[in-house]
Structure 1
Amino acid sequence: MTTVLLVRHGRSTANTAGVLAGRTPGVNLDERGEAQALELAARLMPVHLDAVVSSPLERTRQTAERLAAGREGTLFEVDERFTECDYGTWSGRPLKSLAEEPLWRTVQAHPAAAAFPDGESLAALSARAVSAVRAWNAKLGEQATYAVVSHGDVIKAVAADALGMHLDLFQRINVDPCSLTVIRYHGTRPSVLRLNDLGGDVSALIRSVEPAAGPGEAGDAPVGGGAGS
């Protein structure tokens, strides 16, 4: 069972300005975002990470570097497949003005059909992000636990896939700055352990010896809910 910790970058200067940053260069963590990244890194320090994988953009790399600090032997790698959506000509524009565009309603209600002008479709974003997670799962192996530091829409797309939700429903998922979403991939299906966690205890993510399997096969969902961690 491979465990993936999906981390959204800390709050950025574009977040506080109300601007859709997209892939615009030079968007960094603001003061609060820097504090969020340090707080999350401290909270996750007891959890062994085989790798920390980051989107190439500044705000994600800054968050990922805080997460990887002090972890000797942990692989640190940048993966373009986890980069922000290419919002095309929407990039750099205020969200208030974008909300007046006809495409905005499509993004809200039918995101599977949304393609940004001179940019990327949300369906293409979902396909690349989900395939990247699967590739990293195969690369690191069934006992691995690793972190991916990425962006809100990327994480929502991966979480929607894990939940078996159509992409048109992914706006029902909220992913706040520096939140933690955790997915465990079994041989037959994923299971979502956390969504938009902003401060929960992480002791359940610390694995020493794999627990003995209960009734059925390893990774089966406990009928009735089980006893928890």
Structure 2
Amino acid sequence: MRRHVRFTGAAALAAAGALALGACGLVVGETFSDDATVAQKITAVRVDTYDGGVTVRGGAGGSTASVHREVTYRGDRPKGPTHRVEGGTLVLGGCGEHCSVTYTVDLPGTVPVTGGTSNGALHLSRVAAVRVTSSNGAIDLDGVSGAVDVRTTDGAITGKGLAGTGITAETSNGEITLTATKPQDVRAKTSNGAVSVTVPDAPFRVSAQTSNGAKRIGVRNDPASRYRLDLTTDNGEIHAGTAKG
């Protein structure tokens, strides 16, 4: 990941230590993969796993959802599915101790996604509202039609085609890059990394704070605007511009 910022010695050591701890949770062992079809109507997705990344892609059409998983384990091979449906919610679960499961899910419609993983990236596209977390992993959003609330500790956050009713993105170690396609409140906060936000050409109440980096604000600042643009980083530059440049 390209950084626009120099870490201080303490910050760099802290970030490296956190990443090392995260890596210890990842499983190395035997691997298998399989596919499943979900015939029930899915109205939401909840991520409920410890080790492993998740990709959810909505708007695939058809009438059924598909779940592809890759399982890495030590010891006995896990048996049975790790996903389930609870009242219309597709729950993407874990596979136990010394085991990680990575999901790729294709859904016929556009549904909200909640929950999180401790070790793994989250990639969500063509979904409704998003409220997810990861401790060690990037979060990538594309074509989200609902409100966004995403948080990770070690990892970048990227989002494009964000057309909901508000955006909150927070990470400790990583850049944040967001593109909103309609005016809405945007809050982006990181400790180590640049913040770059693109919004429609509309007035915002702008607050941009960085302790170590340049600020380039190309958005109309109007204290009376209904929309807030709240951008914060400790180490990194801040850029806010409009879709027109």
User: In which range does the TM-score fall when normalised by the shorter chain?
Assistant: under 0.3
Q: Normalising by structure 1, what TM-score?
A: 0.24
1 or 2 for the larger relative contact order (CA 8 Å, sep ≥6)? 1
